[in-house]
Amino acid sequence: MRIGVLDVGSNTVHLLVVDAHDGAAPVPAFKHSIPLRMSEHVAEDGRIDEDAIAELCLHIRASQDAVEDMGATEFMAFATSAIREAPNGDDVVRQVRERTGVDLEVLTGDEEARLTFLAVRRWFGWSAGRILVLDIGGGSLEIAVGTDEEPEVAVSVPVGAGRMTRNFVASDPANPDDVRAMRKYVRSQIAEVAGRILRVGEPRISVATSKTFKQLARIAGAAPSSDGPFVRRSLSQGALQTWVPKLADMTAPERANLPGVSQGRAAQILAGAVVAEAAMDLLHVVELDICPWALREGIILRRIDWLHQ
């Protein structure tokens, strides 16, 4: 069967169409990403403005057309922290339903972590043993750890790369005092959940997903995406410790010239690096393997499981 999945994130709307079958890995048939910057359309009271809602509905309708053209029999749409945390999040969901006919599912942070963990588990398999998974989004950091397909602990920490950039980075390049304040805040937030993660036991492997981690790994020398998904890519804590001060000294346009860094994410890659370094340090992670599967694949895998129960 062919399934279309739309991921409405804090930075981007991602459409993924896959051929999916029970007992087999989902095979991508079509991918498309549209910058939306939902988090930049948030008023002082946290509400998402009407322009962003209208643009989101346009993208959803275009995605519906694309999915139909690709011959998909199912279309699922879900949203994460930007809509989840907005005071008018329910109204956004209602307007999307009325204007497009699509029921936009808003995931909790824990659900994000659990579904991403499922995707990572299926990618690495049972031989990986206990896995620790980190995923940095625009609004939050998801952490999960466990030995099965359902993690033993799954948490969401409100220190996403976009959120930290908005809250702490007021100049370009960043003011050193602002970077120090961001680092202090990020570490205090992760420290609140670190004990729960560490008590589960030492993971056999530690894994990162998300565009932020992929770009950080590429900056540190990992293979480009053009080499395909099966090339091993990793990111070390030592590399991050080297790159955080370098990124802090750069302007956004200078970061955009680094390998793998897109212009749209150049402004927030510094915050992403600060969050990644803090998480690795506080969770005692020396090296992360980069997984090509993440939340969207987890949604698809869970859907396939339900269809064959």
**Quick one: three-class SS letters along the chain?**
CEEEEEEECCCEEEEEEEECCCCCCCEEEEEEEEECCHHHHECCCCCECHHHHHHHHHHHHHHHHHHHHCCCCEEEEEECHHHHCCCCHHHHHHHHHHHHCCCEEECCHHHHHHHHHHHHHHHHCHHHCCEEEEEECCCCEEEEEECCCCCCEEEEECCCHHHHHHHHCCCCCCCHHHHHHHHHHHHHHHHHHHHHHHHCCCCCEEEEECHHHHHHHHHCCCCCHHHCCCCCCEEEHHHHHHHHHHHHHCCHHHHHCCCCCCHHHCCCHHHHHHHHHHHHHHCCCCEEEECCCCHHHHHHHHHHHHHCC
Looking at residue 307, its pLDDT comes to: 73
The pLDDT profile of the chain, 309 residues, written as one tens digit per residue, is 899 999 998 778 999 999 988 788 889 999 998 888 776 777 778 889 998 999 999 999 999 999 999 999 999 999 998 899 899 999 999 999 999 999 999 999 999 999 999 999 999 999 999 999 999 998 999 999 999 999 999 999 999 999 999 999 999 999 999 999 999 999 999 999 999 999 999 999 999 999 999 999 999 999 999 999 999 999 999 999 999 999 999 999 999 999 999 888 899 999 999 999 999 999 999 999 999 999 999 999 998 888 766
Q: How far apart are CA 301 and CA 122, in angstroms?
A: 9
Query: From residue 6, how far is each of 59, 69, 70, 230 by CA, in Å?
Result: 10, 15, 14, 24
Looking at residue 70, its pLDDT comes to: 94
**Exposure of 59 by Cβ count < 10 A (0-12 exposed, 13-18 middle, 19+ buried)?**
middle
Looking at residue 35, its pLDDT comes to: 83
Are the C-beta atoms of residues 141 and 154 closer than 8 Å to each other? no
How many residues are given for the chain? Answer: 309
Return residue ranges of the chain for CATH 3.30.420.40: 2-106
Return residue ranges of the chain for CATH 3.30.420.150: 110-295
Looking at residue 39, its pLDDT comes to: 66
The CATH code for residues 2-106 is 3.30.420.40
Are the C-beta atoms of residues 247 and 269 closer than 8 Å to each other? yes
* Superfamily, domain 110-295: Exopolyphosphatase. Domain 2 (3.30.420.150)
Neighbouring-strand partners of residue 12 = 35
Looking at residue 36, its pLDDT comes to: 81
Question: What order do you get walking across the sheet with 234-236 strand by strand?
Answer: 153-157, 141-146, 131-136, 205-209, 287-290, 234-236
Are the C-beta atoms of residues 121 and 127 closer than 8 Å to each other? no
Closest CA to 96 of 138, 137, 140, 48: 48
Cβ contacts of 55-63, under 8 Å, gap ≥ 24: 56/8, 56/13, 56/92, 56/96, 57/95, 57/96, 57/99, 57/100, 59/13, 59/34, 60/6, 60/13, 60/96, 60/100, 60/102, 60/104, 61/99, 61/100, 63/4, 63/6, 63/13, 63/15, 63/32
